[in-house]
Amino acid sequence: MSTTVTSKGQVTIPKAVRDLLGITPGSQVDFRRAEDGSIVLARTDKKKHVSRFEKLRGHAGAGLDTDAIMALTRGE
């Protein structure tokens, strides 16, 4: 993957890299020089990337059984 540097020295991190590292708006990243001279991009904030599916976990409500959940989803 490659990207172009703007006149201000800015680059866009490719979506595949952002997705892999869980980089979202507001994430902090660090550029480090490896022993072989290459530059490594690493995420420095400790926020864990949460997938859209993980965000939905546990939202059925406490103490509801399957029948009650099905009734809620059907609008009964």
Has residue 3 been placed in a domain?
no
| Nearest partner of 18 among 27, 8, 31, judged by Cα | 27
Residues of the chain with pLDDT > 70: what percent?
83
Residue 8 lies in a domain: no
Asked if residue 33 belongs to a domain, the reply is: yes
What single letter denotes the amino acid at residue 17? V
Q: Is residue 10 part of a domain?
A: no
In this prediction, residue 34 carries a pLDDT of 92
Question: Per the domain annotation, does 25 fall within a domain?
Answer: yes
39 within domain boundaries = yes
Q: How large a percentage of the chain has pLDDT more than 90? A: 38
> Could you tell me if residue 1 is inside a domain?
no
Q: How many domains does the chain have?
A: 1
Cα dihedral 42, 48, 51, 57, rounded to 10, equals 170
pLDDT in tens, 37-71: 999 998 888 766 667 777 677 665 567 778 888 88
Three-state DSSP class for 42?
A: strand
Cβ(41)–Cβ(31) under 8 Å? Answer: yes
Residue 59 lies in a domain: yes
Report the predicted TM-score, pTM, of the whole model to 2 decimal places.
0.54
* Residue-number span of the structural domain to which 29 is assigned: 15-74
